[in-house]
Amino acid sequence: MDTQWRVYEVFHQQSRGEPHVHVGAIHAPDAESAIVMAKEQYGRRQACVSLWVVPSDAIVGTSYEDVDIFDHGTDKTYREPYGYQTTKRVRAQSTKRPRSMRETEGATG
Amino acid sequence: MTTFANAESVAGEVKDALIDLIYRLADDDLILGHRNSVWTGLAPILEADIAMSSLAQDEIGQAVAYYTLLHELGEDDPDTLAFARGVEDYRCASLTVLDRGDWAFTTVRQYFYDVYKTHRLAALTESAYVPLAQLARKVRGEQKYHMMHSRMWVSRLGDATDESHQRMQAAVDALYGHALGLFEPTPHEAVAVEAGFCVAEADLLAAWRAEVEPMFEQAGLTSPGDAKPVYGGRRGAHAAELQTLLDEMQQVYRLEPTAAW
Amino acid sequence: MIRCDHVVTNDKPGDPGYDENLAAFEARIARGDKVEPGDWMPDAYRQQLIRLIHVHANSEICGALPEGGWIPHAPSLKRKLALVAKVQDEVGHAQLLYRAAETLGKPREEMIEELIAGKAKYSNVFHYHAETWADVAIIAWLIDAGAIVNQRMMAEGSYGPYSRALKRICYEEAFHLTHGYDMCITLAHGTTLQRDMLQDALNRWWEPIMMFHGPSDKESKHNEILMKWGVKLKSNDQQRQEFLKQYVPKIGELGLTIPEKWNLRFDEATGEYLYAEPNWEEFINVVRGNGPASALRLRTRKMAHDDGLWVREALESAARDERVPVSVN
């Protein structure tokens, strides 16, 4: 008979406001015992305010073979801050304004 | 209630009663921690091994804290108290002294002790001896975890399989009288209660029974109705097992009792 | 799906697509990318890692025994606490490592049963008895130091789960090392009895320590492929030299001497230590299970495993029945 118990993945939160981070896995017969045992295997040294355990077989993930689904096939810079040239454009506009106005802005470069 | 801020504020029979109380707390934790520590590397499964080892560390760690309070009250330093007293000077209850037995014996003993300790600490957080109340508040979190751990094991092993039930019930039968011995009255009790250091042993025992019975019902275990309390530990009358334990514990220390190790 | 399920797909030389897959696999390692459980990997890589991590995990769980035997005898409260914590860490490391090996497809229980049956190896140093309290100090200091040299290197290896486990293990080993060093300092600065005890422990442990990183393997063909696959990053001799350079001066500082028969000396020209070669036949004999404490170690592990069977079965059964657990709140 297999007596090594099922596997639970363990997630550890170091302090409120931080995300729960995956730190490893343990063997446990059920969720409550998993918490009791994970507390000492994964919470005995670092600060911890919350632990989660999740049965490993409840986790569904992508395959590394499909890593290309995360590639960007076309230009996606329109959804990034660096995809815009706001400063450059404002400056270009300001050079067209009368000289006196530019001076009061104290333009340094 | 009058409180006692520090070691200087107690004297006479009040001080004697306080010292007796703290010895009981310290020695229970040291001896049970010693027994539990022996599981490290040998428990039924790796995860259980790690958790049991933490319990042992917490218990020995709490013993150190109690010995430190005693040292402030004029007793020897913690290592001398732990390693250099004669067997009759220890005030631990027989429950903590018994050899570790199987995993059922260990977890039932731990459960009995944890229920006692939880109620003991809850009362001590209100102790009139301020350093003791502060310490009790500090270690309550550890104790809460010990209680979760004990309940987890007893509730599951009590009626999981025929074998686990038999082993757990045998442990209950063997240990129940020793558990009652945790509440052994001492000659200092009246003074200690009067001073507000702790609550009466009989009150703790009532709280203990009220918690153990419903748990046993859920776990399919039965308290032996005729169990007689095993007394003696609180006045230094111990079974031979304690001397054997101390010989083992003091083996290296005795090679050079005055040296640092 | 990311699972530990071992899906064999054309992972042996000659299988369709093997060469292309191997090229991509080796390119990934050359880039410094880690290999993860769901990835294609050569069967030889998988088997090599399972063997390696299995031996490493066995060494942790067997390594808990010689020191664990001294827990009841620790001579001060601080030493008692630290020793319990250290041995607990070894058990914790075994847990982490068996898990890393499980992600390659081998169940933990099978690995533990192979160990107990004498079919799987563990480190040479744990085949010896810890005879005195000073042995505990030497083991925690010098054997953990040797282990750190090895584990820091392995933490840079190519297999993600093993590397992650080792990062945490190295952190905890740093406590073991300091705890061991602190014990050695105390004994070295202590009474004549304590100093003699420490020197005696060093004398007995020096040979197993010299053998700890394994026989010379600089030239081996096998080593070349392991290096290429990021399974091994330094030769055994390189690791041994690294250990000697760091710790021989510290051993001297404590007034301890390394037994003369080793003829240990620093060679300025090569910047390396020279020494009399250990008896490698003995090493092989010891790791095959013929060391002074080998039988005892397996007997103890087997006893713990057998005595715990009813507990594991009971909880397995309680969980299978979907029994409503009693709240622990």
Q: For residue range C285-321, what is the model confidence (pLDDT) as tens digits?
A: 999 999 999 999 999 999 999 999 999 999 998 886 5
CATH code for the domain of B49: 1.20.1260.10
Closest partner CB to C88 (pick from B53, B248, B260): B53
Closest partner CB to C81 (pick from B61, B156, B160): B61
* CATH class of this structure's domain C43-301: mainly alpha
What's the confidence (pLDDT) of residue C217? 83
The C-alpha atoms of residue C277 and residue C88 are separated, in whole angstroms, by 35
pLDDT-derived band at A103 (thresholds 50, 70, 90) equals low
Cβ neighbours, 10 Å, residue B33: 24
Sketch out chain A's domains with CATH numbers: 6-58 (3.10.20.520), 64-104 (no CATH)
Closest partner CB to C194 (pick from B60, B253, B256): B256
Nearest CA-CA distance, residue B190 and chain C, Å = 32
The C-alpha atoms of residue C70 and residue C187 are separated, in whole angstroms, by 16
Output B122-129 pairs: Cβ under 8 A, ≥24 positions apart. Answer: B123/B198, B123/B199, B123/B204, B124/B198, B126/B196, B127/B196, B127/B197, B127/B198, B128/B1, B128/B2, B128/B3, B128/B4, B128/B195, B128/B196, B128/B197, B129/B3, B129/B4, B129/B10, B129/B18, B129/B195, B129/B197
List chains adjacent to chain A, taking adjacency as at least 3 C-beta pairs closer than 8 Å. Answer: B, C
pLDDT(C88) > 60 = yes
List chains adjacent to chain B, taking adjacency as at least 3 C-beta pairs closer than 8 Å. Answer: A, C
What ipTM score was computed for the predicted complex, to two decimals? 0.97
Interface contact B50-A39, CB threshold 8 A: no
Alpha helices (H) along C189-293: 192-211, 221-228, 236-253, 280-285
Residue B200 located in a structural domain: yes
* C323: DSSP letter: P
Task: Write out the residue range of the structural domain in which residue B90 sits.
Answer: 8-255
What are the structure tokens assigned to C124, written together?
């040479």
Nearest CA-CA distance, residue A28 and chain C, Å = 9
Task: Please give the interface size between A and C, counted as residue pairs whose CB atoms are below 8 Å apart.
Answer: 67
Residue B2 located in a structural domain: no
Nearest CA-CA distance, residue B70 and chain A, Å = 28
pLDDT-derived band at C221 (thresholds 50, 70, 90) equals confident
Residue B143 with chain A: CB contacts under 8 Å: none
Interface contact C73-B40, CB threshold 8 A: no
C77, C306, C312: which to substitute to probe chain B, counting the most B Cβ within 10 Å?
Answer: C77
The C-alpha atoms of residue C307 and residue B45 are separated, in whole angstroms, by 10
Counting residues of chain B whose pLDDT is more than 90, the rounded percentage is 99
* Phi then psi dihedrals of residue C203, to 5 deg: -55, -45
Q: Average pLDDT, stretch B140-153?
A: 97
Nearest CA-CA distance, residue B45 and chain A, Å = 8
C31 CB near a chain A CB, below 8 Å?
A: no
The C-alpha atoms of residue B74 and residue B68 are separated, in whole angstroms, by 10
What is the four-CA torsion angle of C124, C76, B59, B30, rounded to 10 degrees? 120
Interface contact A27-B45, CB threshold 8 A: yes
Per-domain residue ranges of chain C: 43-301
Query: How many domains does chain B divide into?
Result: 1
What residue of C is the nearest CA neighbor of B247?
Answer: C73
Answer yes or no: are the C-beta atoms of B60 and B33 closer than 8 Å: yes
The C-alpha atoms of residue A45 and residue A31 are separated, in whole angstroms, by 22
Answer yes or no: are the C-beta atoms of A12 and A23 closer than 8 Å: yes
C33 CB near a chain A CB, below 8 Å?
A: no
pLDDT digits (tens, 9 = 90+) for C189-213: 999 999 999 999 999 999 999 999 9
Counting residues of chain C whose pLDDT is more than 70, the rounded percentage is 94
Residue B149 with chain A: CB contacts under 8 Å: 36
Q: Give rounded-to-5 percent helix, strand, coil for chain B.
A: 70, 0, 30
Interface contact B54-A4, CB threshold 8 A: no
What's the confidence (pLDDT) of residue A101? 56
What are the structure tokens assigned to C18, written together?
């093997």
Nearest CA-CA distance, residue C219 and chain B, Å = 38
C73 CB near a chain B CB, below 8 Å?
A: yes
Counting residues of chain B whose pLDDT is more than 70, the rounded percentage is 100
Give the Å distances, CA to CA, from C123 to B178, C60, C114, C147, C303: 43, 9, 15, 10, 20
What residue of C is the nearest CA neighbor of B248?
Answer: C73
The pTM is what? 0.94
pLDDT-derived band at A26 (thresholds 50, 70, 90) equals very high
